[in-house]
Amino acid sequence: MAKLFSGDWMNLLKDAWNAEPDVSNKLAEIGFNSIIACGFKDEENPRGIFVVENGICTSAGDWNGEAADWDMRADLSDWLKWVEKGIGMMGLGTAYATGKLKFKTGDYMSMIKDPRMAGPFVKSFALMQQVGADELG
């Protein structure tokens, strides 16, 4: 198992993303292009980066200063809980409302109100669960 948000882990997530039509195909249908970063709330910079072009993840790895369209942050313990147990739409809403999941960049509210984006977003957390993770990259 790879360490959470390490380059290896981000590439495992990339492979899972591209193999899941409910994520990659659904986002391709709306021409979704984005640079997505993940990391921890107590750190200035994200750890991992994920580049999506027309719904397909074209590259992933360690963050190298890229400007992210979406920068998701949470505490290590919360990330690990979501990776281990998964999280659904209600859980994500609660995590956002209580501040457990923060967006340094990106508009969570507009994204979650758009079913074309909300479904794949929730499904991406299931992919994290599928990949699993060691504690820290």
Q: Specify if 136 maps to a domain.
A: no
Q: Specify if 35 maps to a domain.
A: yes
Q: Specify if 71 maps to a domain.
A: yes
Judged on CB neighbours under 10 Å (0-12, 13-18, 19+), 85 is exposed
d(C-alpha 32, C-alpha 55), whole Å: 5
Q: What is the pLDDT of residue 6?
A: 94
Q: Specify if 99 maps to a domain.
A: yes
When divided into structural domains, the chain yields a total of 1
Query: CATH number of the domain that 22 lies in?
Result: 3.30.1050.10
Per-residue pLDDT of the chain (137 residues; tens, 9 = 90+): 689 999 999 999 999 999 999 999 999 999 999 999 999 999 999 999 999 999 999 999 999 999 999 999 999 999 999 999 989 999 999 999 999 999 999 999 988 899 899 999 999 999 999 998 876 54
Domain that holds residue 96: 7-131
* Residue 37 near residue 71, CB atoms below 8 Å: yes
Q: Specify if 48 maps to a domain.
A: yes
Nearest to 20 by CA among 44, 49, 55, 53: 55
State both tokens at 102: 């923060």
Q: Specify if 111 maps to a domain.
A: yes
Torsion sign, CA atoms 131, 132, 134, 137: positive
Q: What is the pLDDT of residue 134?
A: 74
Q: Specify if 79 maps to a domain.
A: yes
Nearest to 60 by CA among 111, 109, 2: 2
Q: Specify if 1 maps to a domain.
A: no
Q: What is the pLDDT of residue 1?
A: 66
